[in-house]
């Protein structure tokens, strides 16, 4: 399972992270988000040590959703050195996510 991060630990876990970080902005009421969840969980394990994977619940952390202009869920964002390197919107198959993060 990937860990849910919020405003309080976003800086530490995502922006100040040493390597690339994949963040899944999701909502508990969104069907495609629920469909994507098993893939995100699998990637958390498969990419351990290479890419950190976290989730942001946009209802719990509306400030983060606003800061990164998230206006569709699920939105996946790849962060590196505190900046957004890439993003994709909507539930996607695993190979597309791997391609986005260059893994």
Residues that bind other proteins (CB under 8 A): 27, 29-39, 42, 69-73, 75, 87, 89-95
Question: Which of 39/60 has CB closer to other proteins?
Answer: 39
Contact at 8 Å (CB) between 2 and 33?
no
CA 23, distance to chain mean position in Å, is 1
Give the helix/strand (H/E) hosting 54: strand 52-57
CA dist., res. 44 & res. 59, Å (int): 22
* 82 carries an active-site annotation: no
Give the active site residue among 27, 33, 52, 70.
33
Least spacing, CB of residue 27 vs other proteins, in Å: 8
Compute the least distance from the CB of residue 66 to other proteins, in Å. Answer: 10
**Gap between the Cα atoms of 73 and 51, Å rounded:** 21
Q: Alpha-carbon distance 46 to 73, whole Å?
A: 23
Active site residue 95: no
Q: Which is nearer to other proteins, 8 or 95 (CB)?
A: 95
Kindly tell me which of 18 and 95 has the beta carbon lying closer to other proteins.
95
| Residues identified as active-site | 30, 33
């Amino acid at each position: 399972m990937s860990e849910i991060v919020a405003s309080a630990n976003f800086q530490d876990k995502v922006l100040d992270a040493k390597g690339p970080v994949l963040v899944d902005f999701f909502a508990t009421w969104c069907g495609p988000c629920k469909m994507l969840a098993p893939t995100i969980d699998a990637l958390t394990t498969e990419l351990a040590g290479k890419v950190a994977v976290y989730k942001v619940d946009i209802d719990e952390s509306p400030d983060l959703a606003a800061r990164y202009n998230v206006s569709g869920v699920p939105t996946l964002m790849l962060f590196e050195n505190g900046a957004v390197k890439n993003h994709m919107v909507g539930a996607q198959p695993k190979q597309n996510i791997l391609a986005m993060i260059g893994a």
